[in-house]
Amino acid sequence: SYELTQPPSVSVSPGHTARISCSGDALPKTFAYWYQQKSGQAPVLVIYEDNKRPSGIPERFSGSNSGTMATLTISGAQVEDEADYYCYSTDTSVELLNWVFGGGTKLTVL
Amino acid sequence: QVQLQASGPGLVKPSETLSLTCTVSGGLITSSSYFWGWIRQTPGKGLEWIGSIYYSGSAYHNPSLKSRITMSVDTSQTQFFLELRSVTAADTAVYYCARLEASPFHFGVLAYYMDVWGRGTTVIVSS
């Protein structure tokens, strides 16, 4: 089955840049999306269609998708950005439409 | 601002059917712009898309769950529903409902993504 692969954890100091990667064979031809999930809460969309920010999401969040790797970048990470981050994309390996999440990356800001 | 709230039994016995309801408020479930979907989260497998349904009843299902799930919509009550049959302990999870927006076709690929999530409801499968 199709997989999106993320590092289990990333650490960053406050004010520095955090980059979270997501690799998948179909990413050259599919959009990547990113969700932020804080402890005990539902996920929140932070990036859609590779690099677009929903209304209300701070400008420090940005996304890119090149080749088989999508990347979420948090420029000037804040303590409140500490959360789990999940990438999401389309599985093109099956005839029936299917959408999958990456395994998630725990971002620590300290 | 649209809001969603999932509700369910909390505890289900193995081999039985899990039934969940999602109530939508602050927006039209009959909007032509959106699908409505279910996602679950388990400690072992993380987030998993279960399926999505349009107000007309058209639906997409996760291929790995397709044989066990039925989704439906009640537009008069602005609710949509999920049934998951023959549950096992592996179906223990937090279940979320969400609104899904369509992305433009990209290299001929269709994508829907969750732009608004409801609070999840915890389901435990145990005898």
Query: What is the pLDDT of chain B when averaged over all its residues?
Result: 94
Q: Which of A45, A96, A104 sits opposite B115 (nearest CB)?
A: A45
Q: According to the model, what pLDDT value does residue A55 have?
A: 96
Please report, for residues A79, A87, B102, B118, the alpha-carbon distance to residue A55 in angstroms, rounded to integers and kept in the order given: 21, 19, 17, 18
Stretch B43-71: mean pLDDT? 92
Residue B101: Cβ within 10 Å count: 18
Task: State how far residue A108 is from chain B, nearest Cα, in angstroms.
Answer: 19
Q: According to the model, what pLDDT value does residue B15 have?
A: 97
Percent of chain B past pLDDT 90, that is, above it, reads: 81
Decide if A42 and B62 are in contact by the 8 Å CB cutoff. no
Interface with B, mutate which of A22, A41, A86, A90 (most B CBs under 10 A) = A90
Q: According to the model, what pLDDT value does residue A1 have?
A: 82
Q: According to the model, what pLDDT value does residue B108 have?
A: 83
pLDDT above 90 for B93: yes
Task: Report residue B109's pLDDT band, with 50, 70 and 90 as the boundaries.
Answer: confident
Percent of chain A past pLDDT 90, that is, above it, reads: 90
Please report, for residues A47, A109, B5, B49, the alpha-carbon distance to residue A84 in angstroms, rounded to integers and kept in the order given: 14, 12, 22, 17
Higher-pLDDT residue of B99 and B109 is: B99
Task: State how far residue A30 is from chain B, nearest Cα, in angstroms.
Answer: 6
Task: State how far residue B47 is from chain A, nearest Cα, in angstroms.
Answer: 6
Q: Which of A42, A49, A103 sits opposite B117 (nearest CB)?
A: A42
Stretch A16-27: mean pLDDT? 97
| pLDDT, tens only, A38-84 | 999 999 999 999 999 999 999 999 999 999 999 999 999 999 999 99
Take residue B29 and report the two structure tokens written for it.
């479930």
Please report, for residues B66, B84, B126, the alpha-carbon distance to residue B18 in angstroms, rounded to integers and kept in the order given: 14, 5, 12
Task: Report residue B76's pLDDT band, with 50, 70 and 90 as the boundaries.
Answer: confident
- What are the beta bridge partners of residue B40? B48, B95
Decide if B46 and A101 are in contact by the 8 Å CB cutoff. yes
Q: According to the model, what pLDDT value does residue A12 have?
A: 97
Task: State how far residue A98 is from chain B, nearest Cα, in angstroms.
Answer: 6
pLDDT above 90 for A32: yes
Using DSSP bridges, classify how beta strands A98-101 and A83-91 pair: parallel, antiparallel or unpaired. antiparallel
Percent of chain A past pLDDT 70, that is, above it, reads: 100
Cα within 13 Å of Cα(A82), Cβ side: 10
Q: What CA–CA distance (Å, rounded) separates A85 from A107?
A: 7
CB pairs A-B closer than 8 Å: 70
pLDDT above 90 for B105: no
Task: Report residue B67's pLDDT band, with 50, 70 and 90 as the boundaries.
Answer: very high
Q: According to the model, what pLDDT value does residue B121 have?
A: 97
pLDDT above 80 for B45: no
Q: What CA–CA distance (Å, rounded) separates B9 from A66?
A: 44
**Within an 8 Å CB–CB cutoff, is residue A85 touching chain B?**
no
Q: What CA–CA distance (Å, rounded) separates B53 from B70?
A: 10
| pLDDT, tens only, B27-37 | 889 988 899 99
**Within an 8 Å CB–CB cutoff, is residue A24 touching chain B?**
no
Decide if B110 and A97 are in contact by the 8 Å CB cutoff. yes
